[in-house]
Structure 1
Amino acid sequence: MKLSNLLLAVVVAIASFGITVAAQADTVNARCEVYPKGERATSSGSCTFSQRQGVVGIQLKNGRRYDLRPVGNQPGNYRDQNGRAVYRQSGLGDQGQIYRLANESIYVYWDTAPYGQNSGSGNSGSFAASSHPAAGTPVDRLSDLVGARAGQVENTVEQRGYQFIKPASASGDAIYTYWRETRTNYCVTILTEQGRYESFAYATPADCK
C-alpha cells in the first residue's frame, strides 16, 4: 500500500513538473510601451509576454496585466478582460507586435534593450533610431485636426506635407492608416473612427515600408 502511494506521488510530481515547464516555455521576457490615445508613453519597461492556445497575456512591470482572447475567424482580433475589442497590428516585423486597445496601444518588443540602444548597430544606425520620434508620440502639426471629418480635411493633411502610404488595419468604425511626413521622412499613423480623425501619432520606421 505504501509502495502504491509512493508511486502515485511520483507520478503527480512528474505531471506537475511537466505542466510548470510547459507554462514557462510559453512565457518570454520582453519590453512594453503603453501609449494612451494621442499621448506619449505612460509606461515603458520590462514585461512578460505569453501565448497559450491563442490567448495572449501581457504582464507589465507595474503589475498591470492584459488578457486577450481571440474572437472570430479573423486572425488578430481579440477581446480584453473587460470584453472590449482589441486588434493586433503589423508594423514591427520580427521586432515585436502591436496591440490596439479601446483607449491605448501596447507595443511589445522582443528586444529588451531600450529603443535606439541596441548593441552592435553602429553609430549611423543608433543616430537614425534616436532621431526618429518614439512610436506613439503625438504629431503636433496635425493636433488641431483631431475630431475633424476625414473626408473634409484630408486635403489639409496632404497640404501640410503628409503622404498616404498604406492602410494598416480596420475593424468596425476604427481605421488605422500609415502616412509619411515628407519633410522628415518620419512615419505617421492616423486613427479614424466613425469618419473622424481621432489621433495622429508617429509610428516606427518599419511601419511605412
Structure 2
Amino acid sequence: MHIHNLSENNSILNTFISEMRDTTIQRDRMRFRRNIERIGEILGYELSKTLRYHAATVETPLGQCKMDLLNNDIVLCSILRAGVPLHNGLLNYFDDAENAFISAYRHHKENPDSFEIIVEYLACPSLENKTLILADPMLATGQSMVATFEALKPFGTPKNIHLVSVIGAQEGVNYVKNNFREDTHLWIAAIDNKLSEKGYIVPGLGDAGDLAFGEKVQH
C-alpha cells in the first residue's frame, strides 16, 4: 500500500487538524464539519496528482489553450454519518464523480470493549474498472474500511482504490495495509500512535459523528 501522510510536512492543514482536536473549538459543530470538509479538499487535491489525464484543447475568447484534463471515472463512497462532510469536501473537487453511500457501525456485544462492524444501508453504482475513493474520517481499527470494501465487491472490481481519512491510528493503518491490494493508496491528514482499550484513537479527537451532528441515542 502507498501511504501518503500529509502531516509529515507542515502546511495550513495543521491548523484545521488542531481545531478539530481542541476541546474548546470542536464544540462548534458547524466549524467542525467545515474543517473536515476543508481537509477533504486538501486530501482530494493531493490525490488528484496521481490520477489519469488526457490532452484537450479549450477555446478561450482570444484563442485556443492546450491543457491536460482529468480522465478518470471516479466513484466516491463515504461511510455514514461522519463521512458526509468529508464526502462533500472531496466532491467539491471531483464534481463529476459518481457517488455511493454505506452505513457501517460498531455493534457491541456482551463485552463493551469488543465489537463487530455491521453494514446495513448501501447505494452504489458499478465499480468495474473505475477509480474508487473510499472516505471515512476516522481510521481507528480499520475494520469499518475493510468491511465496507467487502460489501462493495458485488458492484465490480475497481481499477484503482484510494482510501481517504482525516485521522488514523497506526494499528488501523497497518490493518488496512494488510487487507487491501498492494497498489491501494491511503491519503491521511494525521496518524496517531495508539488505540484505547475500546478502540478509539489516542489522542484523536473523540467521536467525529457526534461532534459533527450531535450525540446519538444509544440502544
- Tell whether the structures are fold-level matches, with TM greater than 0.5: no
The normalised TM-score by structure 1 is: 0.25
The normalised TM-score by structure 2 is: 0.25
Higher relative contact order (CA 8 A, sep 6+): 2
Structure (1/2) with the larger strand percentage = 1
Structure (1/2) with the larger helix percentage = 2
